[in-house]
Structure 1
Amino acid sequence: MRIKICGLTQLEDAQIAVKAGADALGFVFYPPSPRAITPEQAAKIIQQLPPFVMMVGLFVDPKPEWVTEVLKQVPLDLLQFHGDEPEAFCQSFGRPYIKALRMKPDFDPEQAAAGWPSARGFLLDAYTPGIPGGTGEVFDWQRFPASESPSWILAGGLTPTNVAQAIRITQPYAVDVSGGVESSRGIKCPTKIHAFIKAARS
């Protein structure tokens, strides 16, 4: 099971996530978020991390100039778009990307995914009006797509206590957690990170 720890703001938290076995680390370049980080801060953290861990930059309906500015400073491996960005926009930066889809009532993720054929995968998150993610809410896991293609990533309200059950029900390609391993907004809890990864891999 592949695991991404998202919303990192401190070097110590990133190092703990890597040592615990995280496959990917997420950095939020969306200023309204309580987990937002500047390109300078992210670059400084990534510079001190070991190889073979994927670095992911999260954006929400950004101006193209902002993405370009971040990419100049931060060595990101993957982009994650959490807003209403069309495929042409997501593709325009020459980096692989995943598209987040929020599970509104009666929303069909497989049908929606057809709008981004170039995406490497799709992150399914809970829907809360006006908030593009990181709410700690779960959606009905029975609605998770059964198909293995494209790569489906489960997010939304995952914690060390529910992630194993969530994986059993949804059989995702990967899981993504932020608030579920925090002691406060943007500050991770080492005990929760280790417990989450252990449970996800169990």
Structure 2
Amino acid sequence: MLENRTMIKVCGMTRREDVVYAVNIGVDALGFILAESPRQVNLDQVRELTYNLPPFIARVAVVVNPEPENVTEIEESGLFDYIQFHGSEEPKLLENTVLKSVKAISIAGKKDLAAVEKYKESADYLLFDTKIGSQTGGTGESFDWSLINELQLPYILAGGLGADNIEDALKKLNPLAVDINSQVENEPGKKNHHLLKKTVEKTRNFRPKSETKIKLKFI
């Protein structure tokens, strides 16, 4: 039986010392932003950042509207376990990737949930993030969690999560995983180890009711 706990991904990794620290405190996944961003890295940098990474730490490539050849390059690099799509990609692109796929759905209001129907069959996992204007992801703000409170499907929660609100998020929602980034930084791409550890500890110490935890797809 799988342990009934919430998985943790730390995104926007740009420094080796942050990668090492995150692994040592027990995070499950690391995210590397290949799209245009203050936290953008390239494949060569990811190779250096993940050198000698212990087994069973998932590595996630974060992209926005990539061309098929970009996806192929990511797949063939051997650096990643997942691709996280943050744009308006066609579902077929997600279906065709040989890696596990995560589709981010950015939410400003209820109408944005229409994307769930579009992607729920093509993506391995859905991720809900905050949309503010044209900015999707990395906003440092949370969206209205009540919009997804009744969803009966496995998902990853993102959007302004940190030590101050992670427990509240876990009490109100039932995510399989959380994705933390800007709220555990001193500046974009530079993680604050104290805030990161505090957020991870609060997440690890939280125990959802076992009867409400949604089963993973492969069970």
- Identify the residue that residue 182 of structure 1 maps to in structure 2: 185
- Identify the residue that residue 34 of structure 1 maps to in structure 2: 38
| Cα contact 1:42–1:74 (8 A) shared by 2 | no
TM-score, normalization by structure 2: 0.86
| Cα contact 1:28–1:58 (8 A) shared by 2 | yes
Give the share of equivalent positions with the same residue, in percent. 35
| Cα contact 1:60–1:83 (8 A) shared by 2 | yes
1:7 is the counterpart of 2:12: yes
The separation in 1 between residues aligned to 2:149 and 2:64, in whole angstroms, is: 24
The separation in 2 between residues aligned to 1:113 and 1:145, in whole angstroms, is: 14
Aligned residue type for 1:2: M
Aligned residue type for 1:176: D
CA RMSD of aligned residues (A): 1.4
Give, in angstroms, the shift of residue 107 of structure 1. Answer: 2.3
Give, in angstroms, the shift of residue 113 of structure 1. Answer: 1.9
| Cα contact 1:40–1:73 (8 A) shared by 2 | no
> Deviation string for 1:105-143 (max 9, x for gaps)?
22253x422212031111101111221210101111111
- Identify the residue that residue 119 of structure 1 maps to in structure 2: 123
**Match runs of 1:16-31 below 5 Å:** 16-30=21-35
1:156 is the counterpart of 2:126: no
The separation in 2 between residues aligned to 1:85 and 1:108, in whole angstroms, is: 15
**Match runs of 1:1-202 below 5 Å:** 1-30=6-35, 32-107=36-111, 109=113, 111-116=114-119, 117-149=121-153, 151-202=154-205
The separation in 2 between residues aligned to 1:65 and 1:173, in whole angstroms, is: 31
The separation in 2 between residues aligned to 1:85 and 1:55, in whole angstroms, is: 21
> Deviation string for 1:39-72 (max 9, x for gaps)?
0000122222111111110000112222222333
The separation in 1 between residues aligned to 2:112 and 2:79, in whole angstroms, is: 34
Moved more, 98-107 or 70-79: 70-79
Aligned residue type for 1:156: G
The separation in 2 between residues aligned to 1:2 and 1:148, in whole angstroms, is: 18
Change (3 A) 1:169 1:85: same
Secondary structure in 2 matching 1:33: coil
Aligned residue type for 1:115: K
The separation in 2 between residues aligned to 1:70 and 1:96, in whole angstroms, is: 12
Aligned residue type for 1:84: S
> Deviation string for 1:86-122 (max 9, x for gaps)?
110122222110100011222253x422212031111
TM-score, normalization by structure 1: 0.93
In structure 1, stretches of 5+ residues that fail to align are none
Give, in angstroms, the shift of residue 144 of structure 1. Answer: 1.9
How many residues are aligned here? Answer: 199
